[in-house]
């Protein structure tokens, strides 16, 4: 594991090693497994991964889930470079399962301003979802002031720009196993 990396014009330093991320996901999955232990395969919750950032977290979480679950994904985007544009774009895939009356566990990479999660909530309410749960690998609590409840937060971090473990800078760095922080 490198101490410093460069992506295009920016340098980043090691922030959270992979082992710590995996341990945080272990704890979060254990809590989820306890909370959803009464679910049966007659009415499994739907795990909805927000693309692209949450793809690695969602895979790691899914591997640890012990209750019946249906997996699907949707693309939501709001970031350009290192800042949120404030506008959330949603791309609804043609094969999305019918979410009406279902319990949906949204899987996010990071909750920052919360614009994405608020947009997701409105979208899911419009689709007639019974209950939305939010799970996120990371939370920037100093930035998040929305009132959507975050049910499962693996780790909280200060208001810094990070990459790795699915998170990108201009689409780069998603494949890095550890999390790095912008080195200013
Ligand atoms: P929000 O809508 O401001 O809460 O931002 C959510 C989305 O912005 C996340 O799903 C990420 O894709 C992206 N994002 C927020 N903070 C960071 C960061 O520090 N690095 C990379 N992407 C981020
Ligand atoms: Mg994202």
Q: What is the pLDDT of residue 88?
A: 84
Q: Could you please report the per-residue DSSP string of 36-84?
A: TTT--TTS--EEEEEETTTHHHHHHHHHH--S--EEEEEEEEEEETTEE
Which ligand minimizes its atom distance to the CA of 73?
2
Distance CA 71, CA 91 (A): 17
Q: What is the pLDDT of residue 8?
A: 97
**Token pair of 176, please?**
């890095």
User: Which residues make Cβ contacts (< 8 Å) with residue 58, sequence separation at least 6?
Assistant: 47, 49, 71, 73, 107
Calculate how far, in angstroms, residue 10's C-alpha sits from the geometric centre of ligand 2. Answer: 20
Which ligand minimizes its atom distance to the CA of 119?
1
Does 45 contact ligand 1 (Cβ within 6 A)?
Answer: no
Q: Which of 26, 112, 168, 178 is catalytic?
A: 112
Q: What is the pLDDT of residue 86?
A: 73
Q: Model pTM?
A: 0.95
In this structure, how many other beta carbons lie within 10 angstroms of the beta carbon of residue 58?
Answer: 24
β-sheet bridge partners, residue 14: 180
Q: What is the pLDDT of residue 79?
A: 67
Distance CA 159, CA 45 (A): 32
Name the closest-CA residue to atom 20, ligand 1: 162
pLDDT along the chain (184 residues), means of 10: 96 98 98 97 96 97 98 85 78 92 98 94 96 98 97 98 97 98 94
DSSP 136: E
3-state secondary structure 110-126: EECCCHHHHHHHHHHHH
* Cβ burial, residue 180 (10 Å; 0-12/13-18/19+): buried
Q: What is the pLDDT of residue 84?
A: 72
């Amino acid at each position: 594991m490198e101490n410093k990396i460069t992506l295009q014009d920016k340098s980043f330093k090691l922030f959270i090693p992979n082992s710590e991320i995996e341990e945080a996901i272990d704890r979060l999955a254990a809590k989820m497994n306890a909370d959803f232990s009464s679910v049966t395969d007659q009415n499994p919750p739907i795990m909805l991964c927000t693309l692209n950032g949450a793809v690695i977290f969602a895979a790691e979480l899914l591997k640890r889930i012990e209750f019946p679950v249906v997996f699907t994904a949707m693309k939501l985007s709001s970031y350009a470079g290192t800042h949120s544009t404030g506008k959330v774009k949603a791309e609804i895939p043609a094969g999305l399962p019918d979410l009406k009356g279902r319990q949906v566990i949204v899987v996010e990479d990071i909750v920052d301003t919360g614009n994405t999660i608020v947009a997701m909530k409105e979208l899911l309410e419009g689709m007639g979802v019974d209950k939305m749960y939010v799970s996120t690998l990371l939370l920037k609590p100093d930035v998040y002031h929305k009132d959507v409840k975050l049910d499962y937060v693996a780790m909280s971090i200060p208001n810094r720009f990070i990459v790795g473990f699915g998170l990108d800078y201009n689409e780069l760095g998603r494949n890095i196993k550890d999390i790095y922080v912008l080195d200013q």
